[in-house]
Amino acid sequence: MKRIVLIAGFESFNTDLYRKAAELATKRCPELDILVFSDRSLNTEAAIVEAALQNADVFFASLIFDYDQVIWLRQRVQHISIRLVFESALELMSLTQIGAFKIGDKPKGMPKPVQFILSKFSSGKEEDKLAGYISFLKTGPKLLKFIPVQKVQDLRNWLIIYGYWNAGGSDNVASMFWTIAEKYLGLKVGTIPPPVETPNMGLLHPDYQGYFESPQKYLEWYRRTKPETWHLPVTGILLYRKHVVTKQPYINQMIRYFEQSGLVPLPIFINGVEGHVAVRDWMTSAYETAQRKLGKVATLSLSTEAMEVDAIVSTIGFPLVGGPAGSMEAGRQVEVAKKILTAKNVPYIVAAPLLIQDIYSWTRQGIGGLQSVVLYALPELDGAIDPVPLGGLVGEEIYLVPERVKRLTGRIKRWVALSKTPAANRRIAILLYGFPPGYGATGTAALLNVPRSLLKLLQALKEQGYTIGDLPEDGEELIRMVKEADEVVENRKNSHSSSRVNVKTLEKWLGYLLTTRIEKHWKSLSGAGIKTYGDEYHLGGVQLGNIWIGVQPPLGIAGDPMRLMFERDLTPHPQYAAFYKWLQNDFQADAVVHFGMHGTVEWLPGSPLGNTGYSWPDILLGDMPNLYIYAANNPSESILAKRRGYGVLISHNVPPYGRAGLYKELMALRDLISEYREEPEKNYALKEGICKKIIDTGLEADCPFEDAQRLGIAFTPENAQMFSNHSFNDYLLKLYEYLQVVESRLFSTGLHALGEVPDSEQLASYLQAYFGEDLPENLVNEIASGTDSASIDNKFELNGKTPKLEEALRIRDLLSQTSEEMVNLLRGLNGEYIPPAPGGDLLRDGPGVLPTGRNIHALDPYRMPSPAAYERGREVAQKIIAQHLEEHNQYPETVAVMLWGLDAIKTRGESLGILLELVGAQPVKEGTGRIVRYELKPLAEVGHPRIDVLANLSGIFRDSFVNILELLDDLFLRAAQAPESESENFIRKHALALQSQGVENASARLFSNPAGDFGSMVNEQVVDSNWESGDELAKTWRDRNAFSYGRKDKGQARPEILSQLLQTTSRVVQEIDSVEYGLTDIQEYYANTGGLKRAAEKQSGTKVNASFVESFSKDTTPRNLEDLLRLEYRTKLLNPKWAEAMANQGSGGAYEISQRMTALIGWGGTADFTDTWVYDQAADTYAFDPEMAQKLRESNPEAFRNLVGRMIEAHGRGFWQASEEKLQKLRELYDLTDEEIEGVKMD
């Protein structure tokens, strides 16, 4: 008997077909023993597979990519003389050997014998080479037939075998087995039928026997047999050829679903690598046709038999160019894909059944691992939208979920309808945010001036022919109108309020099941009390012609405004559901625009990734096209808007940068120090005045006088003369250098207005921030003023700085395209293709993130950390360890590392680099460049003990990088099991201690919120002033972050492990990824990092340091939390330049200032940061300056009330010792503002 062992990888649904082929083959050739397994067998019945391989004569495998499986197989098949591996990891394909033909170890792509003839089968374009390769595999055997060299004959046989395999079907696979048996196993079979051929590319239909060779022939047949479909939109659908050949039932079912929905399917099957060829050459569009008539020919290779489509759907996943091969770094051709899709200019959607995940795990845990990369991360690089999982595996079969296909077809029809509906008839809903309620947030968004941007959009829509009524001259007036409509009180109709929804109407819209789900949590449809009056829900908004502008409802209830976001089984409250159902069913919005960063619908309960029919974002958005304006520098949270909220992102630029400069007392102090240092002996009398200024400004905390501390002398003006001249002069030099740091520190000046091109001064600010000292200021100003390259060359001695000049000119030109933000938003509302771009910011990521107005995406999670991020992370970790050794004379046993989606994406994984260096590990890549393992390095190479890590995951990191969680979990398990001493391996030490207590999964180190939930809830407590002590905030953090993730755990509560890790944590480490989101700018830092720090201190009873690295800077030196807080407050909140720029932004600017006062309270609660000078100067700047106070109160009274209220709260909590006179002034301001707000509401 001769044994063939076949293992089918990511096509387990074909395993039964291969078993039937084996039966067919062995009937004719009984001497054959053919054993067929799926890749799942390698995990579920490894011993049986291993026994089968021991006596095998032939090893055959296809589509095996899992690294652990690849290594396992490599170790067990080397003794087998015939090894045939197709379309798998290169490490496994390299084992291919048949006769004299071998692919060889470490292959660089296609076998060398193939390459000499390959060029004959492609167009010469790089992106067409893989498609040419497929053609060669089919015709190669004929070309090599008469070449006598044995090696080439074995190559020919290899191609013949692949030809049978690629042709698919049980008959072809049986013939493949017979070919192997006769040519290499010495068995007699007789006549072997040639492959039953199927074209590499073609079209099919359930009602047609055979295949069509061109779209034109297909549509001619289709229109002839179904004449009633002439007026219906056409959707191009890319299908896997192998699924067609193997007659997977879902193919015909899906075609039927498209037809039933009123779409004409144009189903094109491909091998996988020719997706771009099918779209480029076989599909065209009304837009492309019109452009070609104007002489603008983007596609030279367009077939004369190409047909117009209204939308394109790929069920392949992966990148458009290269398909599965495009997942390799070298196979990527994103720019080619963008060019092709831009030429077609129709929606490009990637939606498919899950081929490597079953429906059960998807609907319960979300889509994860490689499946998420195939369906989301890689297609997003091409600008794919509306990802809908259509089904998945049940056992070894592919099943469609009809309701999911209906969602896909419904969304396609709505996108197509946008393009076919005249602008004058389109109904657009624009949604603003007012969260949290009562704090002046209505009509604000991060980094965006909403009033100005909204008015600009409405004016642009009016110019485009949309039906819009009269517009106010001022955007702030528009916001006031919307806010007034939103705040309508019971039994009072409002002139601007456009709608109410009756409870019975909502019940009808929801249906029985959804109504029951809501009633389960909210008692009844009218019982929540949120904007509900009797049996009616109030939907606040303003209607201007066909444009409706409303405020997205709050998530929860008074006193618990975030309730909805943090309980997975909860539902939206009835009024929230009524709001979006009204948009769908009553207003009948042709599209919605979520205006800025960010709303809440995409955060609602449901599947973490891969919307099901039970996911509330899917239920409430329905089929409505969703255009989502988002800050370009946040590719992390925007993932949720894109994937859970079906958002087509329109990125906007960050505000211009400014240098902090020095102000008030800081400037006076610098001048005093300069004067003193000119002649210290003569100016010794200035010592006392300098000391007073230092104390008054609080600078002795930023920059302590270490000599005085060592001697135990208090730093006071009275003691100034006690310090030696040498010692005092050295200190003043250090202080002077610190003031230079403050002076040159960057910040965002104000807010950005959508589509507004920066003027020359603003252009200069971007360029100066980007180049620093690399380009002189006068040269930067010349570039910003619009001077061309030749004139600059004549005017300046560049001294080798030409590349920098070219880069500066390029950045200037890209920033000058900021108007495309508005252009592409309007194009999106036309149903056009929006080109993609990586999310990020100029300082950190360079000009590749420009121009804005793009559909931003994240990155391939299988490339994290990048080589540069790993090295920089290592450097940071080594500095952290060195700092700790210097401070404590011992290594830290546990370091908490914050793993957030935002900094991980923008830095390409620097935080992972930090973690890996602490543990003593490095990334391992397989042949395609994918990182497949984090391998422990020998301790001798590491240079320090393996330090334990508490990895705290943001919800987005947890849900977006499942593959990384599994690699990290595997790393910690291996570290815990490593045969090393406990003194050199703290991971092992702590795991053994936990095991001795009977704790399961003692190597669990990845902790986050409950599955499907987001956030620590610490900031909610702080915002609501709903807390008594920092320890209470610590408990909230700990209770919310006790959930473990990895290969085994999917959100299991493991509080005992978290407590152990907190007890041994001596330092917290985090990366700050941008100028715009510093520690003092947003609530998340104190709520998560501060909460963890406080929880660790409570658990251990000792102070825990927190260290931060600003990844947008070249400097990798970690800064202590308190030092960085002081530096940020000096350069932003307390800086008149920053304050004035923000106050000039109207209601949004006032809200931003107010939020920073809330964050200051948060840092007091979690980190005991209570520097009096911060509160003193904040009060002087915003409350006691009459002009500033009036400006803020008039532009946003609720935000001003919060700002003043936080100052009063700080005194009440003991964070600030304010005089009674100051407190009285603050109380008066608070009462005055409160009365004005209540008066407005009553009026």
pLDDT digits (tens, 9 = 90+) for 544-565: 999 999 999 987 654 444 444 4
* Nearest to 589, CA basis, from 600, 580, 601: 580
DSSP, collapsed to helix, strand or coil, labels residue 83 as strand
CA geometry: angle 1018, 1024, 1029, nearest 5 deg: 55
Model confidence at 129: pLDDT above 70:
no
Q: pLDDT for 706-743, tens place per residue? A: 888 888 888 888 887 788 888 888 888 999 999 999 99
Q: Under a CB-based contact definition with an 8 Å cutoff, are residues 460 and 822 in contact?
A: yes
For 858-937, list the strands marked E by DSSP: 894-899, 921-925, 931-936
1028 contacts: CB under 8 Å, gap ≥ 6: none
Looking at residue 101, its pLDDT comes to 84
The full 3-state SS of 3-70, as one line of letters, equals EEEEEECCCHHHHHHHHHHHHHHHHHCCCEEEEEEECCHHHHCHHHHHHHHHCCCEEEEECCCCHHHH
CB 257 within 8 A of CB 407: no
**In CATH, what number does 202-420 get?**
3.40.50.2300
Residue 680 tokens, joined: 């210290």
Q: How confident is the model at residue 1045 (pLDDT cuts 50, 70, 90)?
A: very high
Strand pairing category for 547-551 and 541-544: antiparallel
pLDDT digits (tens, 9 = 90+) for 1081-1101: 999 999 999 999 999 999 999
Please state, in angstroms and as integers, the Cα–Cα distance from residue 398 to each residue in 36, 58, 350, following that order: 19, 29, 17
What is the rounded distance in angstroms from the CA atom of residue 1101 to the CA atom of residue 1103?
7
pLDDT band at 105 (very low <50, low <70, confident <90, very high): low
* Strand, coil or helix: 385: strand
Average pLDDT over residues 683-701: 87
Note the pLDDT tens digit of each residue in 211-257.
999 999 999 999 999 999 999 999 999 999 989 988 999 999 999 99
pLDDT digits (tens, 9 = 90+) for 352-366: 999 989 999 999 889
Which pLDDT value is given to residue 438? Answer: 82
Residue 490 confidence class, pLDDT cut points 50, 70, 90: very low
pLDDT for residue 332: 56
Q: What is the pLDDT of residue 802?
A: 77
> Does residue 623 sit in helix, strand or coil?
coil
Q: Mean pLDDT throughout 749-776?
A: 93
Where is mean pLDDT largest: 326-330, 699-703, 1185-1189?
1185-1189
Q: What is the DSSP string of 926-948?
A: -TTS-EEEEEEPPHHHH-S-B-E
Residue 1215's pLDDT is 96
| Share of residues in the chain with pLDDT > 90 (%) | 69
Enter the tokens of residue 532: 């509900």
Mean pLDDT, rounded, for 753-769: 95
Does pLDDT of 114 surpass 60? Answer: no
- Grade residue 135 by pLDDT with cuts at 50, 70 and 90: low
Residues 6+ apart with CB under 8 A from 1112: 841, 843, 844, 1072, 1073, 1074, 1075
The more confidently predicted of residues 460 and 730 is 460
Mean of pLDDT values over 689-716: 87
Tokens of 262: 């009123």
Q: In percent, how much of the chain has pLDDT > 70? A: 93
Instruction: Tell me the longest C-alpha to C-alpha distance in the chain.
Output: 111
CATH topology of domain 2-184: Rossmann fold (3.40.50)
In the structure, what pLDDT confidence band is assigned to residue 117 with cuts at 50, 70 and 90? very low
Tokens of 661: 């400069």
Q: What gap in Å lies between CA 98 and CA 81, rounded to an integer?
A: 7
According to DSSP, residue 373 is labeled I
Q: Tell me which H or E stretch contains 878.
A: helix 867-888
Judging by beta carbons within 10 Å of its beta carbon (0-12, 13-18, 19+), is residue 145 exposed, middle or buried? exposed
Q: What DSSP element (H or E) covers 235?
A: strand 234-240
**Residue at 638: amino acid letter:** S
Residue in 954, 949, 904 with CA at minimum distance from that of residue 1067: 949
If you average pLDDT over residues 1045-1068, what whole number do you get? 95
The pLDDT tens digits of the residues spanning 518-530 come to 998 888 898 878 8
| Mean per-residue pLDDT over the chain, rounded | 90
Q: How confident is the model at residue 860 (pLDDT cuts 50, 70, 90)?
A: confident
pLDDT of residue 494: 47
* Cα distances (angstroms) measured from residue 669 to each of 385, 687, 693, 704, 794: 56, 11, 6, 16, 42
Band (pLDDT 50/70/90 cuts) for residue 141 is low
C-alpha closest to that of 909 among 935, 937, 931, 886: 931
Contact 61, 85 (CB under 8 A): yes
Q: Identify the pLDDT of residue 257.
A: 98
- pLDDT, position 1073: 87
pLDDT at 148: 54
Q: Is the distance from CB of 1171 to CB of 1124 less than 8 angstroms?
A: no
Q: What is the pLDDT at residue 1013?
A: 83
| Dist. CA 1208–CA 648, nearest whole Å | 43
Shortest CA distance to 1096 belongs to which of 816, 849, 891, 897?
897
Asked if the model's pLDDT at residue 329 lies above 90, the reply is no
* Residue 1092 near residue 1033 (C-beta atoms within 8 A): no
For residue 1236, is pLDDT > 70? yes
- Distance, CA of 392 to CA of 372 (rounded, Å): 13
